[in-house]
């Protein structure tokens, strides 16, 4: 009895440990800025190209045949949140009002760089547990996908190596007009298939890098990097001392800062944050009657793979394609002169209030997966949205914007977005005392409007080298001052040489 209780307590401890590892902030990915790189990945004909076209507004080929996408398609998409749109209407620049535009020309929302990864390499993978028939026959098969030759797995996702977030698109729709590898619809199986393929891809990349370091005889840092990569390879292929593992992703482990830097340089796939997009049929999506037996197994599988179930977004690729066609359809002329011409998309959404796009949820999930929060900087000249890591201080945000702002920081004025909406304008917010003047060590929160005041260096200070206009955060303050003085000395020497050459040519009678 005591042994059974001890076993239950140990199992509970391991389950809690798994939950802690799952819910801890992501160690990989971007920290701050206004641009994110999202890679769309999935099995052939799962809807990656259709989703890419809907988000980026492109017209890339989306064929019903297998392996149509042969190269990486790249595009951009703006994440314009309702909070950002409201601030744009509040801080309308004078140039936009003079021209009669409905949106300001200097609005800068969070922008996504999208990459549609080709699926032809994924089609070459073979998984023995592809069909339910294999399990019914009782055949002893493996979950591991295989490919001949094995090195070809490195060509799996050429556009996802430098991505910050991987968005896995899963097929959860029926239809005989599209060719699929599998004859049955099982998004949870497809998620495991993609996870195993990405793990195999990372294992081969780690093997190649470890072999290079073994052939290299250098300093201590090479030995440390080799040991870290060996630990990562063992993490993906062998169980640990406690009998847990092998794990499906590197994001399920805990790594030091140096190990994170070495792993990020390799362009691995399992160390990134993952977002799961479940592509369902159009009719149940519009009726808000998506079967739970399609979503619940995917969330359970995602939990085992180290993906938070909150980042599993359900959408309909067919409906997003319909909205894209309406968005690109030109506005017809009005029936009569006194009538206003309405765009087709606006007329459709007004007639069908319950039909809404899933693009905001799909674009907001990468920010949540990376544990990022949104901040806004506003002025009559520009309204801009920034994302920073949750827990970032004011001085950390200033350093991410520019080093000069960090070094010459004076004070920050912060106001919550809810107070802005309640008051209606910046003047009323300041009159009611909702703006807080804070120091450099205050932690920022989600959806805050921040005004940073910093000292602009004078020309004399810049000439003396006391202020360095250098945004390289890897240099210390003393190194930056020394580098600025060296640059100024080189520029002064070049100016003197140019003056001497000009004076010599003028005295000799040359004109140029």
Can you give the pLDDT at residue 265?
Answer: 85
Kindly indicate the confidence band of residue 476, based on its pLDDT and cuts at 50, 70 and 90: very low
> How far is Cα 61 from Cα 50, in angstroms, rounded to an integer?
9
| % of the chain surpassing 70 pLDDT | 71
**Cα 246 from chain centroid?**
26
pLDDT digits (tens, 9 = 90+) for 186-235: 899 889 888 888 888 888 889 888 888 888 766 666 788 888 899 999 99
- All domains of the chain, ordered by start, with CATH? 29-94+104-365 (no CATH), 391-454 (3.10.20.30)
Can you give the pLDDT at residue 276?
Answer: 95
Tokens of 481: 């001052």
**Cα 84 from chain centroid?**
19
Where does 80-122 show beta strands of DSSP type E? 107-108, 110-116
Q: How far apart are the first and last CA of the chain?
A: 100
- 49 three-state secondary structure: helix
In the predicted model, what is the mean pLDDT of the chain?
76
Whole-prediction pTM: 0.77
**pLDDT at residue 3 is higher than 60:** no
Tokens of 415: 């106001």
Of these ranges, 10-24, 143-157, 350-364, the one predicted with the greatest mean pLDDT is 350-364
Tokens of 506: 């003028």
- Whole-Å CA distances, 145 to 128, 140, 153, 179, 187: 7, 14, 10, 20, 16
Please state the rounded mean pLDDT for residues 240-263.
83
pLDDT digits (tens, 9 = 90+) for 288-299: 888 888 899 999
Could you tell me whether strands 107-108 and 110-116 are parallel, antiparallel, or unpaired per DSSP bridges? Answer: unpaired
**pLDDT at residue 394 is higher than 80:** yes
């Amino acid at each position: 009895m005591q042994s059974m209780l001890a076993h239950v307590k140990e199992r509970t401890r391991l389950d809690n440990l798994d939950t802690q590892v799952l819910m801890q902030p992501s160690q990989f990915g971007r920290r701050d800025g206004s641009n994110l790189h999202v890679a769309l990945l999935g099995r052939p004909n799962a809807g990656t190209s259709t989703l890419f076209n809907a988000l980026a507004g492109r017209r890339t080929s989306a064929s019903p045949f297998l392996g149509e996408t042969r190269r990486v398609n790249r595009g951009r998409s703006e994440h314009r949140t309702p909070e950002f749109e409201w601030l744009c209407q509040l801080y309308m620049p004078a140039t936009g009002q003079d021209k009669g535009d409905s949106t300001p020309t200097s609005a800068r929302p969070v922008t996504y760089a999208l990459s549609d990864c080709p699926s032809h390499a994924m089609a070459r993978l073979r998984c023995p547990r592809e069909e339910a028939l294999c399990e019914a026959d009782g055949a002893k098969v493996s979950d591991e996908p295989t490919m001949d030759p094995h090195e070809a797995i490195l060509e799996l996702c050429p556009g996802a190596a430098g991505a910050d977030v991987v968005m896995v698109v899963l097929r959860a729709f029926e239809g005989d007009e599209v060719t699929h590898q599998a004859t049955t619809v099982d998004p949870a199986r497809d998620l495991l298939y993609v996870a195993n393929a990405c793990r195999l891809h990372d294992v081969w990349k780690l093997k190649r890098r470890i072999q290079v370091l073994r052939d290299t005889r250098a300093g201590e840092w090479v030995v440390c990097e080799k040991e870290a990569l060996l630990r990562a390879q063992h993490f993906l292929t062998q169980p640990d001392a406690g009998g847990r593992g092998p794990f499906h992703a590197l994001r399920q482990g805990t790594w030091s800062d140096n190990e994170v830097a070495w792993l990020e340089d390799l362009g691995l796939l399992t160390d990134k944050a993952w977002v799961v997009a479940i592509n369902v049929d159009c009719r149940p999506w519009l009726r808000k009657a998506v079967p739970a037996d399609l979503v619940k197994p995917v969330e359970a599988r995602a939990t085992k793979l180290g993906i938070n179930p909150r980042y599993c977004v359900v959408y309909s690729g067919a409906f997003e394609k319909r909205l894209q066609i309406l968005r690109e359809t030109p506005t017809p002329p009005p029936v009569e002169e006194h009538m206003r011409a309405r765009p087709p998309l606006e007329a459709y959404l007004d007639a069908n209030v319950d039909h809404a796009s899933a693009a905001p949820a799909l674009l907001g999930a990468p920010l949540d997966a990376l544990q990022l929060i949104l901040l806004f900087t506003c002025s009559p000249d520009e309204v801009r949205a920034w994302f920073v890591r949750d827990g970032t201080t004011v001085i950390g945000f200033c350093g991410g914007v520019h080093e000069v702002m960090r070094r010459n920081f004076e004070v920050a004025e912060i106001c919550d977005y809810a107070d802005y909406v309640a008051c209606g304008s910046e003047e009323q917010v300041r009159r009611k005392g909702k703006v807080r003047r804070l120091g450099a060590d205050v932690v920022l929160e989600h959806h805050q409007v921040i005004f940073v005041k910093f000292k602009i260096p004078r020309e004399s200070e810049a000439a003396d080298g006391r202020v360095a206009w250098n945004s390289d955060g890897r240099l210390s303050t003393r190194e930056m001052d020394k580098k600025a003085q060296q640059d100024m000395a080189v520029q002064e020497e070049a100016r003197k040489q140019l003056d001497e050459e000009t004076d010599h040519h003028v005295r000799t009678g040359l004109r140029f």
